[in-house]
Amino acid sequence: MSELKRLIVGDETLLESPLDAAVSAGAQMGAYERLVLLSRYLKIGFFGAAQAISPLPSIIKSNITTVVCLRCPNPREARDAAAMLGLPEERAQELIHLPVGQGFVRSVGFGGAVKISLPDFPLGDYLSNAEVEQRLATQRQWLTEHTIYSPSDSDATLPLNVAEILGEKATPSPAEPVVVDAATRAQFLDVHRSLLEEINRYPSASVTRHYLNLSWSAGRANRIKAELLDMKLIISARQKSANGRPCEVLSLTEKGHLLLDELSA
Question: For residue range 225-240, what is the model confidence (pLDDT) as tens digits?
Answer: 999 999 999 999 888 7
Tell me phi and psi for residue 57, to 5 degrees. -60, 150
C-alpha 172/C-alpha 135 separation (Å) is 51
User: Which residue from 31, 62, 29, 60 is spatially nearest to 46, judged by alpha carbons?
Assistant: 60
Residues 95 and 112 in one domain: yes
Residue 126 lies in a domain: no
Residue 157 lies in a domain: no
Residues 33 and 97 in one domain: no
Residue 167 lies in a domain: no
Residues 108 and 53 in one domain: no
0.85 exceeded by the pTM?
no
Kindly give the confidence (pLDDT) of every residue in the chain, 265 residues in length, as a single tens digit, with 9 standing for 90 and above.
Answer: 468 888 888 776 455 444 444 444 455 556 666 777 788 788 888 888 888 888 777 777 888 889 999 999 999 999 999 999 999 999 999 999 999 899 999 998 898 999 999 988 888 888 899 999 999 999 889 888 888 877 766 666 667 777 777 777 656 666 678 888 999 989 999 999 999 999 999 998 999 899 999 999 988 999 999 999 999 999 998 887 777 778 889 999 999 999 999 888 7
- The per-residue pLDDT for 39 is 82
C-alpha 230/C-alpha 224 separation (Å) is 10
Range of the domain at 41: 1-64
Residue 134 lies in a domain: no
Cα 191 vs. chain centroid, distance in angstroms?
44
Cα 139 vs. chain centroid, distance in angstroms?
20
Residue where a domain terminates, one of 96, 119, 142: 119
Pairing of strands 44-48, 6-10: parallel
Total structural domains in the chain?
3
- The per-residue pLDDT for 18 is 47
Residues 71 and 59 in one domain: no
Q: Are 17 and 28 in contact (CB under 8 A)?
A: no
C-alpha 210/C-alpha 204 separation (Å) is 10
Neighbours of 51 (CB within 10 A): 10
With both helix axes pointing from N to C terminus, report the angle between 207-214 and 218-230 in degrees, rounded to the nearest 10. Answer: 120
Pairing of strands 44-48, 66-69: unpaired
Alpha helices by DSSP H, listed for 47-189, are: 58-62, 75-85, 92-96, 129-146, 162-165, 182-187
Residue where a domain terminates, one of 20, 47, 64: 64
Residues 209 and 241 in one domain: yes
Residue 16 lies in a domain: yes
